[in-house]
Amino acid sequence: MNRITIALLAALEALIVVAVGVGIALVPLTILWGTHYGLAIDWFVFWRAAVDVWLLGNGVDLAVQLPVEMSASLGLAGSELPFTLGIALLGFALLAVLLGVRTGRRAAGTEYSLTAAGVAVLSYGLLAALLTFSAGTAVVTPAPVQGILLPTLVFATGVLIGLVWANRATGTLLPGWASRPVGDQLARIPAETRSQLVAALRGGTAAVAGIMIVSGLAVFVSVLANFATVIGLYETLQAGVMGGIALTIGQLAFIPNVVVWAASWFVGPGIALGAGNSVSPLGTTLGAVPGLPLLGALPHGTLEFGFLGLLVPVLLGFVVAVLVRQSVDKRANAPHGTARMLVTGALMGVVAGILLGLLAWWSAGAMGPGRLAEVGPNPLLVGALTTLEVGVAAALGMLVGGRRARSTGSGAEELSTKR
């Protein structure tokens, strides 16, 4: 295919990704428009609502000014004043990243990979701009600059991951246009230092992945254990069939946030659900919370053995470091020395702290007026404690992993000598 055809296909793929994201919210709202409201309301009200949900899912802040009548009926302190909705429904962002990875891998398989990737990202940005300017009303107004940039950056991240992933299969981590300058810069770094940095990146990322997997399992178990409470909250809301479906879709998009919150709980700081409310291993203090049935799975009261959750990042940091050390020792340019191993373990903690701190930051935000302006984990505290817990455990794991490898090697030599 020629360059123009590839560019057009890339633009079409960006359009499909945007349509999927907006359609997840728009389809149930459109059905609700027809079944519950009998087509009596302007459909563009539901279009704007769907676009607002999509933008919120990509991290865009929404400025809200409720009418006086609606504010009075809600009875929320501060709802009569302008407030911000800023908590991202990370399910939408995760979907955009995954579809972006698919786009990047397809672009890498073409003759003009840079053109395909660039056109896809630019088209996505143009569509995001059009959607942002179509969504503003007197009640809800998305931040225009964020509405253009943030969805585009989310999608571009996925495209970049897809490009790197596809090129890795061919033996290079970067596309040809970028591999030479990056390779020249990396060649200036000593081989042992490069190996040390790669080990830290791998170990820190693996530790965070392990924490997220354990957190996801914990959320699943908690939902099952509190299923009756969750269903009771559904019944209390009396949303109807289509309202319940729309609410369920919204909560599915919110599950990645809850998983990150569970990770913050394991690390120690826990989360805030409004000013004065907290959920942590040391206990749960809750007043009025957002009326989401999914939040019925939160732990209640003081957990007698809640502090044991703090062992999760410590154990994962230790185990990952042991495995990384054994892998590193097999390489010719492996770093040597106790000091280097300790530094590598500490760097694993830094990588893990940065990654989990960023996830905590993206999962938190304002969920409403007044007290609800503070919802989610404290990213700085999560990042700092993750760095400490994973870093110390990983430093010990790097030392223990080396001893284990040496003992295994000496045992093999003794066995071969006896033979």
Strand order in the sheet with 271-273: 283-285, 278-280, 271-273, 375-376
85 SS3 class: strand
What are the tens digits of pLDDT across the range 3-29?
Answer: 899 999 999 999 999 999 999 999 988
Beta-bridge mates of residue 83: 64
Mean pLDDT of 60-71: 85
Q: Rounded to an integer, what distance in angstroms lies between the CA atom of residue 21 and that of residue 352? A: 30
Contact call for residues 35 and 245 (beta carbons, < 8 A):
no
Q: Radius of gyration over alpha carbons of the chain, in Å?
A: 25
Q: Rounded to an integer, what distance in angstroms lies between the CA atom of residue 42 and that of residue 33? A: 9
Residues 120, 125, 130: CA angle, nearest 5 degrees: 125
Helix ranges (DSSP H) in 36-110? 43-57, 68-74, 90-108
Most confident of 79-88, 116-125, 184-193, 333-342: 116-125
Residue 133 CB neighbours (<10 A) = 13
Helix ranges (DSSP H) in 238-310? 240-267
Q: In the chain, what are the helix, strand and coil shares in percent, each to the nearest 5? A: 75, 5, 20
Contact call for residues 34 and 248 (beta carbons, < 8 A):
no
Q: Rounded to an integer, what distance in angstroms lies between the CA atom of residue 127 and that of residue 147? A: 10
pLDDT score for 79: 74
What are the tens digits of pLDDT across the range 258-286?
Answer: 999 999 999 989 898 877 778 888 777 77
Contact call for residues 258 and 265 (beta carbons, < 8 A):
no
- CA dist list (Å): 126 to 67, 109, 117, 149: 32, 24, 14, 10
Q: Report pTM.
A: 0.87
Q: Rounded to an integer, what distance in angstroms lies between the CA atom of residue 418 and that of residue 354? A: 50
Mean pLDDT of 355-371: 90
Tokens 């340019």 correspond to 333
Residues 134, 136, 140: CA angle, nearest 5 degrees: 145
What are the tens digits of pLDDT across the range 293-323?
Answer: 888 888 776 666 777 888 999 999 999 999 9
Contact call for residues 272 and 287 (beta carbons, < 8 A):
no
> Residue 244: CB partners within 8 Å, gap ≥ 6?
234
269 SS3 class: coil
For all residues of the chain together, what is the average pLDDT? 85
Q: Rounded to an integer, what distance in angstroms lies between the CA atom of residue 344 and that of residue 395? A: 7
Task: Look at residue 414 and tell me whether its pLDDT is greater than 80.
Answer: no
What are the tens digits of pLDDT across the range 209-223?
Answer: 999 999 999 999 999
Q: How confident is the model at residue 39 (pLDDT cuts 50, 70, 90)?
A: confident
pLDDT score for 401: 67
**Could you tell me which of 23, 22, 34, 36 has the C-alpha nearest to residue 243?**
36
Q: Rounded to an integer, what distance in angstroms lies between the CA atom of residue 139 and that of residue 66? A: 6
Q: Rounded to an integer, what distance in angstroms lies between the CA atom of residue 298 and that of residue 321? A: 32
